[in-house]
Amino acid sequence: MYLLTELLTKDTIQLANFVSTWQEAIRLAASPLLQQHKIEEHYIESMIHSIEKHGPYVVITPKVAIPHARPTDGVKELAMSLLSLQEPVLFGSDKPVFLIIVLAATDSASHLQALADLTQVLQEPSQIDSIIACQYIDDILEKIQHFMDKEQAG
């Protein structure tokens, strides 16, 4: 079982001011995983195709999207990456997104703990806003750790 803090690291979190399209946001968000050879280019195209086909179902809560595709679509290793935007990108006309968290799962189970951790981090709108407000990757990592510690202590 992988914890969220094992998957989201300095190497997989990025900050950007602005991207013009949600497709560009997904490509940028997934780029660390591509560079680390955890996913193939095909995985990125599968995520984009899936949203084009089914609509912005990846927007799981206001301001947050978790694009993903099937393990068979080019996942080499369980991985997750996060892109935080200063300006929202629209996933559909009424779905402004600031946080894009790419999930690359190798099977149906190994990512579940990390996803459960992520759910704890994203359950409060104030927690989402505080992550969006971060100007540095280290600050995002600290916030995520803090929200998880708070939950475990809770």
Residues taking part in catalysis = 68
Helix axes 22-35, 41-54, angle to 10 degrees: 150
Please give the Cα distance from 75 to 41 (Å, whole number). 10
Which structure tokens are listed for 145? Answer: 């750790």
Q: Are 73 and 67 in contact (CB under 8 A)?
A: no
Write out the H or E segment, with its range, that includes residue 43.
Answer: helix 41-54
Distance separating alpha carbons of residues 68 and 25, to the nearest angstrom? 13
- Residue 22, H or E segment: helix 22-35
- Greatest Cα pair distance in the chain: 41
